[in-house]
Chain A
Amino acid sequence: MSTATISLPAVPEPATSSTPAVHRNWRLPWRQLGRLLLALPVPLAILAFWQAAAVYEWVPAQILPSPSAVAATFVDLLRSGELQSNLLISFWRVLWGFLAGAGAGLLLGVGMGLSPLVKDYLYPSFKTFAQVPALGWLPLLMMLVGIDEALKIVLIAKASLVPVTLNTYKGLQGVPTRYIEVAKVYGFSRWQLLRKVVLPAAFPPIWNGVRYGLTHAWLALVAVELLASSEGLGFLIVYGRQLYQLDVVLAAVVVVGAVGLLLDLALAQVEKYLLRWRRDAF
């Protein structure tokens, strides 16, 4: 007998005439606004410290340019269009690499999650492969595919493949037996079971994997552009360092961080919509 128990809230039966609280998030999002504001003190403090360090020259200006200098450089880079063109190049690389990696990861994860045979064949090899960081493959890949776009896309794909595969596989493994039994009771076919029960139940962990995948793709992008590229945000960082223009380096770093954050936030918004059946955790 399944021992899974769900603790049910001991709420007395409400009168059935009361309207259900279906749209309970319609109130003004003051609370959310407050939480957003809470995110500000830490970056502002860092900024203030940085500014102080520049003003009192704790660190030479050549090594740590002031925030205002970085901001000015940022505006310059925007005006000249250099930032946009490099960002766009980086963005496309991430997009293709991520699509390839996440797509392959979903296939692999679904295969291993649904078929024990596929899992037995592939899982140990996959785990071994996953243990080697993306950069470990770099020398070999440089020889194999050169240092052009293919190299970047392959490495980014590898970086997103691993978390997507693992989370998809684990998510499918973790679908509760109690739901599968319900499907059996109502005579679901294999396809109905997959579409109506297994995929929705496994969706939260799978989507988590996709989010990790995108984050890893972005990290891998910057790393590979640092090492082998003549354009892109990572290149901008290397280029700034080589010319001893640390304002360019810092501006690029801030953009890398901000874009990474925005990408993850976008996926979080999608998740919020797709998982609207889930109770907020807090």
Chain B
Amino acid sequence: MAHAGTLEIKNLNKQYTVKGEPLPVLENISLSIKPGEFVSIVGSSGCGKSTLLRLVIGLEQEYQGEILLDGKRIVGTSLDRGIVFQEHRLFPWLTVEQNVGVGLLNADLSPAQKKKTVDEHIALVGLKGFETAYPYQLSGGMSQRVAIARALVNRPEVLLLDEPFGALDALTRSHLQQELQRIWEAEGITAILVTHDVEEAVYLGDRVVVMQPRPGRIKRIVDVPLPRSRDRGSYAFSQIKDDVLSEFSDTPHSDVKLVTPQESLGANWQFAW
């Protein structure tokens, strides 16, 4: 089993320069993630949640503050950190097993060990029998499973997920959420999921980090002290979900009034289109 990493983000600031003006994207982010913890980050588009993930994976380098994995400052990308992007980003010219093997290209293993590890991870994501299929022969959900296998094949300490199910249909999405939970439990690694789907965040996360935009800040961190597997229909689940959702509405809950529709000419007409 992989060693689970401790991720520490301290006073992280990040800005882009747009037309000569500094544009802050992330402001004063501090977050400490325990080994084996599953943290969900939710926020509306443009709140910098994806940028945060790109900083942690090492695809973006310039920032102020500190990002530490097991106490060591993150420099560039590393096989210690795996990522699943929103689009599966499989190489279309490689088969499923070759795509998963991409993760092991620079791993210190013999070819036989690599083959074994690849096979294990294809089995882990439930794609046994599809080893020699090309990406164009796979559905969106299957492609994303391959991407998860590729991200895990190095046994990273941290798995980063950047809206991994955002482009999938609702049925496939909820199925893959269950699968992801199973895989995360099986691998016992630290996971960070960025999403704009509050239900997904609550279903999967030990904690839900709510971010707010312009510049991206942490608004609140909500604990999800529910046992797994969670029941999306349960009262406790809905309460936490509503709690997180309430962070996104500008007006406080108590002020909300039902709006009575105004009676006007034609309001009761049924239109047949």
Q: Are A186 and B105 in contact (CB under 8 A)?
A: yes
Q: Are B126 and A16 in contact (CB under 8 A)?
A: yes
Given A7-B167, A196-B105, are A185 and B92 neighbors across the interface (CB < 8 Å)?
no
Interface assignment of B54: CB less than 8 Å from any CB of chain A: yes
B residues near A37, Cβ cutoff 8 Å: none
Nearest-CB distance from A273 to chain B (Å)? Answer: 13
**Distance of A87 Cα from B167 Cα, bound (Å):** 56
Interface assignment of A42: CB less than 8 Å from any CB of chain B: no
B residues near A40, Cβ cutoff 8 Å: none
B residues near A277, Cβ cutoff 8 Å: 92-95, 134-136
B residues near A122, Cβ cutoff 8 Å: none
Interface assignment of A45: CB less than 8 Å from any CB of chain B: no
Q: How large is the interface on A (under 10, 10 to 19, 20 to 34, 35 or more residues)?
A: 35 or more
**Distance of A19 Cα from B126 Cα, bound (Å):** 13
**Distance of A201 Cα from B129 Cα, bound (Å):** 26
Count of chain B residues with a beta carbon within 8 Å of a chain A beta carbon: 50
**Distance of A11 Cα from B135 Cα, bound (Å):** 14
Q: Are B87 and A20 in contact (CB under 8 A)?
A: no
Q: Are B91 and A279 in contact (CB under 8 A)?
A: no
Interface class of chain B by DSSP: loop
Q: Are A278 and B91 in contact (CB under 8 A)?
A: no
Q: Are A188 and B106 in contact (CB under 8 A)?
A: yes
Q: Are B77 and A185 in contact (CB under 8 A)?
A: yes
Q: Are A13 and B87 in contact (CB under 8 A)?
A: no
Q: Are A14 and B78 in contact (CB under 8 A)?
A: no
Q: Are B142 and A178 in contact (CB under 8 A)?
A: no
B residues near A17, Cβ cutoff 8 Å: 129
Bitwise interface map of B from 71 to 108 toward A, beta carbon under 8 Å scored 1, else 0: 00000011101110111110111110000001101100
A residues near B186, Cβ cutoff 8 Å: none
Nearest-CB distance from A14 to chain B (Å)? Answer: 7
Interface assignment of A6: CB less than 8 Å from any CB of chain B: yes
Interface assignment of B175: CB less than 8 Å from any CB of chain A: yes
Interface assignment of B255: CB less than 8 Å from any CB of chain A: no
Nearest-CB distance from A22 to chain B (Å)? Answer: 6
Q: Which of A182-231 contact B (CB under 8 A)?
A: 182, 184-189, 192, 196-197, 200-201, 203
Interface assignment of A125: CB less than 8 Å from any CB of chain B: no
Give B87's nearest chain A residue, CB to CB.
A6
Q: Are B169 and A10 in contact (CB under 8 A)?
A: yes
**Distance of A13 Cα from B177 Cα, bound (Å):** 13
Given A14-B139, A186-B103, A197-B91, are A20 and B133 neighbors across the interface (CB < 8 Å)?
yes
Nearest-CB distance from A69 to chain B (Å)? Answer: 51
Given A22-B133, A181-B59, A277-B93, are A16 and B102 neighbors across the interface (CB < 8 Å)?
no
Interface assignment of B36: CB less than 8 Å from any CB of chain A: no
Q: Are B59 and A8 in contact (CB under 8 A)?
A: no
**Distance of A1 Cα from B141 Cα, bound (Å):** 22
Q: Are A22 and B137 in contact (CB under 8 A)?
A: yes
A residues near B169, Cβ cutoff 8 Å: 10, 12
Partner of A1, one of B54, B83, B102: B54
Q: Which of A265-279 contact B (CB under 8 A)?
A: 275-279
A residues near B105, Cβ cutoff 8 Å: 186-188, 192, 196
Bitwise interface map of A from 2 to 36 toward B, beta carbon under 8 Å scored 1, else 0: 00111111111110111111100000000000000
Give A7's nearest chain B residue, CB to CB.
B167
Interface assignment of A49: CB less than 8 Å from any CB of chain B: no
A residues near B262, Cβ cutoff 8 Å: none
Q: Are A4 and B87 in contact (CB under 8 A)?
A: yes
Interface assignment of B143: CB less than 8 Å from any CB of chain A: yes
B residues near A200, Cβ cutoff 8 Å: 91, 93
Interface assignment of B132: CB less than 8 Å from any CB of chain A: yes
B residues near A14, Cβ cutoff 8 Å: 139, 142
Q: Are B127 and A16 in contact (CB under 8 A)?
A: yes
Most buried by B among A1, A12, A189, A196: A1
**Distance of A6 Cα from B89 Cα, bound (Å):** 9
Given A8-B139, A16-B128, A184-B59, are A278 and B92 neighbors across the interface (CB < 8 Å)?
yes
Interface assignment of B57: CB less than 8 Å from any CB of chain A: yes
Nearest-CB distance from A58 to chain B (Å)? Answer: 53
Interface assignment of B130: CB less than 8 Å from any CB of chain A: yes
Partner of B85, one of A10, A22, A178, A278: A178
Bitwise interface map of A from 131 to 170 toward B, beta carbon under 8 Å scored 1, else 0: 0000000000000000000000000000000000000000
Interface assignment of A129: CB less than 8 Å from any CB of chain B: no
Partner of B167, one of A8, A21, A192: A8
Q: Which of A38-70 contact B (CB under 8 A)?
A: none
B residues near A181, Cβ cutoff 8 Å: 59, 85, 89
**Distance of A186 Cα from B82 Cα, bound (Å):** 8
Partner of B129, one of A9, A20, A189: A20
B residues near A18, Cβ cutoff 8 Å: 129
Given contacts A22-B132, A179-B91, A201-B93, 11 further A-B contacts (CB under 8 A): A1-B51, A5-B167, A8-B88, A9-B140, A10-B169, A11-B140, A12-B171, A182-B102, A184-B58, A186-B154, A188-B105
- 8 example contacts (A-B, Cβ-Cβ < 8 A) are as follows A12-B169, A13-B139, A16-B130, A20-B132, A21-B133, A22-B132, A22-B134, A182-B85
